[in-house]
Chains A and B, each alone.
Chain A
Amino acid sequence: MPARSRFRHASLVAVLAALWGAPVLTGQDRVRLEVALSEDSTDAGSRDPVLRAHALIEDGRWSTMLRSGFPIRMHFRVELWQDRGVWFDALRRQVEWDVVVRREPLLDQYTVNTITPSSVGERRYATLEALAAALEYAYRITIKPREDGEFYYAGVLGLATLSDSDLEELDRFLRGDLGSAAGGGESLGDAVSRGAKRLLLRLAGLPSLRLEARSDRFRVRSAP
């Protein structure tokens, strides 16, 4: 392979890595999900899961997104698994909830909507610091198992952001409605090419992250 071609391929790989991989990798270095167990408050030893996301706002990408008007959607899922020894583990239950964070420029506030299976809550914070503290609140889910056995919890946190205008632009582009992009006398090919690049850059610049964690195992014993 000629050196020039190798260089071109290497550049392409580097660009792709920068577009897709780099934001994710740097994000994984900082933001993390913790799945802990609640204190042992029952005779049987059953425990609830306690989930907590760490350092979301400290990761500059997410705070930049918020300040730029992009909402952040945090989708949590916690699963209760029973360890069955040599046999396959069994999924006993799962619960999902969402936390949507957005900035309201008019009031210079941050809004946090927590949408659980049974309720919708809203909190507002005036500063990024207060928001950072709020996003590190722990979530205790009351799904402790009642039956005998050894159990653990698996937690998943999906983080994503995309604005309505991005979606609409993408939607138009994929529909083939080039609209203003094809204006100004440029060729259709140029408009498509430019639209594709802008789309790729736009999408690549928007962070997306998925975190997984597991709790320690715990044993539930029969009541005496």
Chain B
Amino acid sequence: MRRMVALLTLIMAPALAAQDSVIVIDPDAPPSTVQRLLPAEVLAEAVTRYNDSNAVRFAGDVSLPAGAAVRGPVGLFRGTLTVAGIVEGPVTVVNGDVVVLPGGQLLGDVLVVGGAVRVHAGGLHRGNRRTFAEVAEVYRDTEGQLQIRAPSRPLAELAAEQSFQVGDIKTTIKVALGGTYNRVEGLPLYLAPIFQWRPSDRDTLSLEVRGIIRTASDPSDLRKDPGYRVDLGWRSGAGPRWAVNLVAWSEIVGIEQQPLSRSENGWSAFVLQRDYRDWYQSQGVGATIGLSLASPLRMRLGIGVEEERSVQAGDPWSLIRNSDRWRPNPLIDDGRYGVGTIALNLDTRNSTSFPSSGWYAHAEYEHAWSDNVAPLDLPLSVRAPIPTTGTYSFGRVAFDIQRYVRINPAVRVGARLLAQGWVTGDDLPVQRRYSLGGTDILPGYPFRAVNCDPTSPGAASQVALCNRLLAVQAEVRTRLNFGWAFHLEDRERAELDRIIAIDQADLVFLADAGTAWIAGDGPGQVSGNHLPAGSQWKFDVGAGLDLGGVGFYLAKALTDSEPLRFTLRLQRRF
């Protein structure tokens, strides 16, 4: 039989070659009738049919010889069902094919996902036939049943979860890493039941009750343990998508969002005992409205009331320098704050991880007020006394604009403008202030080289005290064709790919400029309507090798006599 099939194919092959030696691809043509993507409901149906206790289940290649017969539902996973005999009943094949050879009979409905059905001349299939070429993302558990793989998550969001359905409500118990390793909490772990109710295909009502357990003990009793976050949300997924969330929380929150990304900062703290962020306790209630105005444009409105309190650094374990002391966590201006925010996000990048074209723009305005702030006593050159009579309020804005352009097939250019700072009302509290210098924005300078601390030597916490920041970054990338590329093409293994993949190496040339300052009318401050003089700007240049996920950079400060600095990044700079 194999010889016959081979012979038939052999006869057909030259004919195909003669007809199709040029294959025309029209990217603008409407999709063909062949189904490419596997609908979730079809995947669920295939898994249910395979797992049916009445089904005869197989894994791997199976041949039913001539004269043999099988009755009842048949399920096959990852293999080819070759039928030369008779199969009576529905057949479900997941990630495999069905081949009906001459004389073979398939009498029943056939559902094939991740494969195809071929009925040879002389073979018979009677019944409905549905085939989907897209591979089903499933695995077989220890009891031989198929389970649908959960979508992969970024490394920072590794989690274990178990879901079950009671009536109309789906319940998920989730255990996850709660963000990033840091010197206040150690490793925060989330334990959360999530309840979801879907009144329609478009709408979802969800309730998440998240407990936060921290591995680092608190030496001061300032921290409120355990943390929590309760989130009641209504999300609509049709037309202009929107979501409304009512939230109550008690969490440890980061002050500045730079340097380094959240996950890089976690790795740095865990391995090197270098926590580049500062933290405070936030406990409050609030509401947010998210609106997707158009495909790349989103808006978020938020309002809430929160208690913001200082917390002390603990002594969590680190792989290297474990016996050293962590950098102290600075005190903040404690108090109860009302906070309103509006944010706009535009993202037309072709990739969020490795963009080479498009725009990313984020703009945010925050207005906050407090009737019981207990301010820190800061030097007058940093901040005039802020009112404690219930009238304290301030406003600040943040812009982050990134542009990516390819100027020819091998060369890409990226540029970024980052502007943040006070714009209205009283001066900013410590937990809303800025600094500059370090691995992210100015890699040619040490951590917080510009932090606006007038004392000498500055506080051991290296507290950030500037109330405005402006930075420009640019880089040019060109590909080095060393032939080193290695990638796991399977999207299911995206996490693994991120760890072990080596991309074509990019040679990166970078240049950065930035300044952070105190805007105001006090001594040594810059008028609110002006930018700092050119002498107050910091410039650096550098070069690096980006292996697609891991980058090595050398940067040199141009405006100060700093040594050449080496930086290891676990993602693109921006």
Interface residues of A (CB under 8 A from B): 20-21, 24-25, 28, 50, 73, 75, 79, 81, 88-89, 91, 95, 97, 104, 106-109, 113-120, 122-127, 130, 133-134, 137-143, 154, 158, 160, 162, 167, 170-171, 174, 203, 208-210, 212, 214
Asked, given contacts A107-B99, A118-B29, A139-B25, whether A174 binds B2 with beta carbons under 8 Å apart, the answer is: no
Q: Are A158 and B21 in contact, with the CB atoms below 8 A? A: no
Q: List 23 A-B contacts (CB under 8 A).
A: A21-B483, A81-B408, A106-B82, A107-B6, A118-B28, A118-B29, A119-B31, A120-B34, A122-B133, A126-B6, A126-B7, A126-B9, A126-B10, A133-B13, A138-B21, A139-B23, A140-B22, A142-B25, A143-B27, A160-B489, A174-B499, A203-B500, A212-B481
Interface centre among B20, B22, B24, B25 (most CB of A within 10 A): B25
Chain B residues contacting A89 (CB-CB under 8 Å) are 407-409
Q: Are B22 and A50 in contact, with the CB atoms below 8 A? A: yes
B143 within 8 A of A: no
B351 within 8 A of A: no
Closest Cβ of chain B to A65, distance in Å, is 14
Closest Cβ of chain A to B327, distance in Å, is 31
Contacts A141-B25, A203-B500, A210-B483 aside, 12 further interface pairs with beta carbons under 8 A come to A25-B483, A50-B22, A91-B406, A107-B2, A120-B34, A133-B17, A137-B20, A139-B24, A158-B485, A162-B489, A167-B490, A170-B500
Q: Are B487 and A95 in contact, with the CB atoms below 8 A? A: no
Q: Are A20 and B484 in contact, with the CB atoms below 8 A? A: yes
Asked, given contacts A118-B30, A125-B9, A142-B26, whether A208 binds B496 with beta carbons under 8 Å apart, the answer is: no
B63 within 8 A of A: yes
Q: Are A208 and B34 in contact, with the CB atoms below 8 A? A: no
The distance in angstroms between the C-alpha atoms of A170 and B34, with both chains bound, is 33
Q: Are A120 and B9 in contact, with the CB atoms below 8 A? A: no
Asked, given contacts A114-B23, A119-B32, A209-B483, whether A130 binds B407 with beta carbons under 8 Å apart, the answer is: no
The distance in angstroms between the C-alpha atoms of A89 and B409, with both chains bound, is 8
Chain B residues contacting A142 (CB-CB under 8 Å) are 24-28
Q: Are B407 and A88 in contact, with the CB atoms below 8 A? A: yes
Asked, given contacts A81-B408, A119-B32, whether A210 binds B23 with beta carbons under 8 Å apart, the answer is: no
The distance in angstroms between the C-alpha atoms of A138 and B31, with both chains bound, is 21
Chain A residues contacting B481 (CB-CB under 8 Å) are 210, 212
* B interface residues, how many (CB within 8 angstroms): 52
Closest B residue, CB atoms, query A27: B483
Closest Cβ of chain A to B102, distance in Å, is 13
Q: Are B36 and A120 in contact, with the CB atoms below 8 A? A: yes
Closest Cβ of chain B to A42, distance in Å, is 16
B206 within 8 A of A: no
Closest Cβ of chain B to A113, distance in Å, is 7
Interface centre among B9, B14, B23, B36 (most CB of A within 10 A): B23
The distance in angstroms between the C-alpha atoms of A108 and B4, with both chains bound, is 11
Q: Are A127 and B10 in contact, with the CB atoms below 8 A? A: yes
Asked, given contacts A24-B484, A160-B489, A167-B496, whether A138 binds B23 with beta carbons under 8 Å apart, the answer is: yes
Chain A residues contacting B484 (CB-CB under 8 Å) are 20, 24
Chain B residues contacting A140 (CB-CB under 8 Å) are 22-25
Closest B residue, CB atoms, query A167: B493
Chain B residues contacting A73 (CB-CB under 8 Å) are 489
Chain A residues contacting B357 (CB-CB under 8 Å) are 91
Chain B residues contacting A137 (CB-CB under 8 Å) are 17, 20-23
Q: Are B27 and A141 in contact, with the CB atoms below 8 A? A: yes
B 463-498 to A, binary, CB cutoff 8 A, 1 in contact else 0: 000000000000000000101111111100100100
Interface residues of B (CB under 8 A from A): 2, 5-7, 9-10, 13-14, 16-17, 20-32, 34, 36, 61, 63, 80, 82, 99, 116, 133, 357, 405-409, 481, 483-490, 493, 496, 499-500, 504
Q: Are B116 and A122 in contact, with the CB atoms below 8 A? A: yes
The distance in angstroms between the C-alpha atoms of A210 and B481, with both chains bound, is 9
The distance in angstroms between the C-alpha atoms of A60 and B481, with both chains bound, is 23
Closest Cβ of chain A to B393, distance in Å, is 47
Closest Cβ of chain B to A40, distance in Å, is 16
Closest A residue, CB atoms, query B357: A91
Q: Are A107 and B5 in contact, with the CB atoms below 8 A? A: yes
Closest B residue, CB atoms, query A113: B133
Chain B residues contacting A113 (CB-CB under 8 Å) are 133
Asked, given contacts A137-B20, A174-B499, A212-B481, whether A167 binds B488 with beta carbons under 8 Å apart, the answer is: yes
Closest B residue, CB atoms, query A139: B23
The distance in angstroms between the C-alpha atoms of A20 and B500, with both chains bound, is 14
Q: Are B25 and A95 in contact, with the CB atoms below 8 A? A: yes
Chain B residues contacting A21 (CB-CB under 8 Å) are 483
Q: Are A118 and B27 in contact, with the CB atoms below 8 A? A: yes
The distance in angstroms between the C-alpha atoms of A154 and B406, with both chains bound, is 13
Chain A residues contacting B30 (CB-CB under 8 Å) are 118
Query: Which of B63, B99, B409, B488 is close to A154, meaning CB atoms less than 8 Å apart?
Result: B409
Q: Are A130 and B24 in contact, with the CB atoms below 8 A? A: no
Chain A residues contacting B496 (CB-CB under 8 Å) are 167, 170-171, 174
Interface centre among A116, A140, A142 (most CB of B within 10 A): A116
Closest Cβ of chain A to B5, distance in Å, is 6
Asked, given contacts A116-B27, A140-B24, A160-B489, whether A88 binds B405 with beta carbons under 8 Å apart, the answer is: yes
Closest Cβ of chain B to A58, distance in Å, is 17
Closest Cβ of chain A to B18, distance in Å, is 10
The distance in angstroms between the C-alpha atoms of A88 and B484, with both chains bound, is 28
The 10 closest A-B pairs by CB, nearest first: A88-B407, A154-B409, A119-B32, A126-B9, A130-B13, A24-B483, A126-B10, A89-B408, A126-B6, A118-B29
Q: Are B23 and A81 in contact, with the CB atoms below 8 A? A: no
Chain B residues contacting A203 (CB-CB under 8 Å) are 486, 500
Chain B residues contacting A25 (CB-CB under 8 Å) are 483
Chain A residues contacting B6 (CB-CB under 8 Å) are 107-109, 126
Q: Are B32 and A120 in contact, with the CB atoms below 8 A? A: yes
Chain A residues contacting B29 (CB-CB under 8 Å) are 118-119
Asked, given contacts A118-B29, A134-B17, whether A104 binds B23 with beta carbons under 8 Å apart, the answer is: no
The distance in angstroms between the C-alpha atoms of A119 and B504, with both chains bound, is 29
Closest B residue, CB atoms, query A97: B25
Asked, given contacts A81-B409, A108-B6, A120-B32, whether A95 binds B17 with beta carbons under 8 Å apart, the answer is: no
Closest Cβ of chain B to A47, distance in Å, is 14
Chain A residues contacting B133 (CB-CB under 8 Å) are 113, 115, 120, 122
Q: Are A117 and B9 in contact, with the CB atoms below 8 A? A: no
Q: Are A116 and B25 in contact, with the CB atoms below 8 A? A: yes
Chain A residues contacting B405 (CB-CB under 8 Å) are 88
Chain B residues contacting A122 (CB-CB under 8 Å) are 116, 133
Closest A residue, CB atoms, query B36: A120
Closest A residue, CB atoms, query B99: A107
The distance in angstroms between the C-alpha atoms of A170 and B493, with both chains bound, is 10
The distance in angstroms between the C-alpha atoms of A160 and B483, with both chains bound, is 12
The distance in angstroms between the C-alpha atoms of A113 and B36, with both chains bound, is 12
Chain B residues contacting A210 (CB-CB under 8 Å) are 481, 483, 485, 504
Chain B residues contacting A91 (CB-CB under 8 Å) are 357, 406, 409
Chain A residues contacting B7 (CB-CB under 8 Å) are 126
Asked, given contacts A89-B408, A120-B133, A134-B17, whether A115 binds B25 with beta carbons under 8 Å apart, the answer is: no
Closest A residue, CB atoms, query B30: A118
The distance in angstroms between the C-alpha atoms of A28 and B133, with both chains bound, is 32
